[in-house]
Each structure stands twice: as C-alpha cells, then as structure tokens.
Chain A
Amino acid sequence: EAQVTQNPRYLITVTGKKLTVTCSQNMNHEYMSWYRQDPGLGLRQIYYSMNVEVTDKGDVPEGYKVSRKEKRNFPLILESPSPNQTSLYFCASRIGTGNSPLHFGNGTRLTVT
C-alpha cells in the first residue's frame, strides 16, 4: 500500500532534549516536506526537499533541522526543543514535477514541557 509513515504518533518530551521524528514514503517520490499545524493557524511549511541532498526552508524553519540522505526518508530533527514547538506535525510527499498531489502521513503530536 502506498503510504507516508511517520513515527512516533505521540511524543512527550522535556525542553532541550534532542528528538527526531521520522518520515518514510514508499512511492519513490522526489519531493518531501514537513508541516506543523496549530489551532487558528492552519498548516505551515517547515522545510521541504526536492530530492536527495536538496533541502530548503519553508515558512517556519527556526528551531528545526532536516536531512535527505535517502529518497524515501526525511527526518525532522529538533536539536533543543522548546514549549513553543508543541504542535501537530505532518510529513508529506509528492512526485517532484507538475502539480501532483501531496500525500500526507497521519501526523505526530509533540508535546514539549
């Protein structure tokens, strides 16, 4: 089954403790991206990647890192999480060209205390 898989689904951590949220897709998509969803703000793009070893900042990249060493994986790294990064995070992928649709994972709910 074609899918985007995020892990974990839920994560509670403390301020300053480094964490990684994984994202993997099995559709051979070139494009992958991360979003955060907050009440009243909709979804905002954090980072995106057009292909392996190519990453770009989205609207709200501060406090986040990403890497794209393999085509299927696009982990989101929070080196020193803070409470304002408490949010619902979505990973998405799509074919790199044209207007192909984004395929989203089921989300990761992160709480930073």
Chain B
Amino acid sequence: DAKTTQPNSMESNEEEPVHLPCNHSTISGTDYIHWYRQLPSQGPEYVIHGLTSNVNNRMASLAIAEDRKSSTLILHRATLRDAAVYYCILRTTGNQFYFGTGTSLTVIP
C-alpha cells in the first residue's frame, strides 16, 4: 500500500496561492516529510522538507498537521513555471524514500 496519497490533479489561477494536500496516515515518529516536483522531461527536484513544525523556504511553505498524518505544500503565488507534478515523500531513518503518485498542477494564465 502507498505510504502517501495525493489528489491526481489540481488547477490554480496564476498568482493565486495553491494548497497541495498529502495524507500519510501510517507515518512513523521518525519519518521526515519531503516534497519534490518534477517538470516535464526532467528528474524530480527538491522543494522542502519537515518533521513536525511548519517550514518555510524561498520556494514554498510546508504545513504539517499536529498528528503528522497529513501535510500541505503551499505555493504562495503560483506562476506558469510552477506547473509540474508534485510528490509527497516519506524519508525513513533507514534512508528509504517512499514517493506518492504525485499531483499534477496546472496553472491557468
């Protein structure tokens, strides 16, 4: 069974905020939550990660539920270059990375 579940697709208007959800109900206490995105014909690229607290960086914010069973990646102002597949991932202490099936984000001009 998949360790993370995400909606298959989402749409957003350009310059609007985007909230990409992820459920990881079987997460263990030591698993980190990572987000990557994949542009067409490229390998995935790192976006953000966190353990328990909400995190911000120049690309996005990560909001983690108090029980850690879900998280939300927030893009504050979507641009056309943000159109990609976004993956929610659990990284275990054993250094295994479990990718979800990803959310394909379409940004509408």
State the A residues within 8 Å of B (CB): 4, 31, 33, 35, 40-45, 48, 50, 56, 58-59, 90, 92, 99, 101-107
* CB closest residue in chain A, given B47: A101
* Bound complex: CA A103 to CA B46 (Å): 8
* CB closest residue in chain A, given B91: A99
Across the interface, do B87 and A101 meet the contact criterion of CB distance under 8 Å? Answer: no
Across the interface, do A102 and B95 meet the contact criterion of CB distance under 8 Å? Answer: no
The distance from the CB of B71 to the nearest CB of chain A, in whole angstroms, is 15
Across the interface, do A31 and B95 meet the contact criterion of CB distance under 8 Å? Answer: yes
Are A102 and B96 also in contact (CB < 8 A) when A41-B101, A42-B87, A42-B102 are? no
B29 beta carbon closer than 8 Å to chain A: no
Are A99 and B97 also in contact (CB < 8 A) when A42-B87, A43-B87 are? no
Number of contact residues on B: which range applies? 20 to 34
Across the interface, do B102 and A105 meet the contact criterion of CB distance under 8 Å? Answer: no
State the B residues within 8 Å of A (CB): 2, 32, 34, 36, 41-46, 49, 87, 91, 94-102
* CB closest residue in chain A, given B6: A42
* CB closest residue in chain A, given B32: A99
* CB closest residue in chain B, given A100: B46
Across the interface, do A92 and B32 meet the contact criterion of CB distance under 8 Å? Answer: no
* Bound complex: CA A48 to CA B45 (Å): 18
* Bound complex: CA A43 to CA B88 (Å): 11
User: A102: which B residues are within 8 A, CB to CB?
Assistant: 36, 44, 46, 97
User: A41: which B residues are within 8 A, CB to CB?
Assistant: 101
* Bound complex: CA A41 to CA B2 (Å): 9
Across the interface, do A42 and B43 meet the contact criterion of CB distance under 8 Å? Answer: no
User: B95: which A residues are within 8 A, CB to CB?
Assistant: 31, 48, 50
